[in-house]
Amino acid sequence: MGVEPVDRAMIDETLIARLTAEVAVAAAATLEIARTGVNVRLKADRSPLTDADERSQTILLAATARLMPGVPVVSEEMASRPSRLGDVFVLIDPLDGTKEYISGSSEYTVNLGIVRNRTPLAGILAVPACGLIYRGIVGIGAERLAMTPDGTVASPAGVSAIAVRAAPRGALMAAVSRSHLDDATVALLDRLGIAGRVPCGSALKFCRVAEGLADIYPRLGTTCEWDVAAGHALVVAAGGSVTLPDGSALEYGEATRNFRIAAFIAWGDRTGVLARAA
């Protein structure tokens, strides 16, 4: 039986459940390739590419074409990316944290974000090596699910609602990159009075904010929209926010800038964190 076409304006829980299943399949593919041997090449920019990046992308491009027909998709490993996106489009990072993946670390993710009117509306992030999927729909909520190594998503009993935490009276915590913690980020955290660190790789840092294990995740260096969109939606769905460093809105679909984002900050309780720093 075929899947009914999805109205571009209707991003609902049924669609997200179907996409979650496909993200889990892509995540399982990365695990299978890790078990059988990772073939590493270098792209033109000297960053690594593996069979897992390509296999995950193939699965997710086919899934979005089937479940969201006619909706443009931008994915990191595409040979050619669309320049005209429309009101609704999808951003995919088929394997975020390729260096971590190659090294055998568990801190890599598979990311799929849906953007409407230049703002992330829904996000799904799998953490394959940890058997977890995080997902959220803005205005509905966020949750964490279990997945098996073969790509089976948990039953409802294996689903937990998640939310950002109110800024605690005790130590504030920042999710920080293991490989991109620069002087500017350290200076920002010092100004905000945030001494605690939760180091991790890839978009997993968004998950730490969304589930209340960190209060802030600043990224003050250039990254790409497909790295951020799914996590952005997840954090907002969990009750937080994602802004530019000056507090203004972070918008997506900047094809003329090759989908680059200069910097951003993901916040749990932004008001509470800033009040503590005042």
Q: Which helix (H) or strand (E) holds 188?
A: helix 183-191
Name the residue ranges covered by the structural domains of the chain: 13-162, 173-277
The domain 13-162 having CATH identifier 3.20.20.70: the answer here is no
173-277 is classed in which CATH architecture? Answer: 3-Layer(aba) Sandwich (3.40)
Decide whether 13-162 matches 173-277 in CATH topology. no
Percent of the chain residues past pLDDT 90, beyond the cut: 81
Tens-place pLDDT, residues 175-201: 998 877 788 999 999 999 998 999 999
Tens-place pLDDT, residues 134-180: 999 999 999 999 999 999 998 887 899 999 999 998 899 999 988 77
Distance CA 181, CA 189 (A): 11
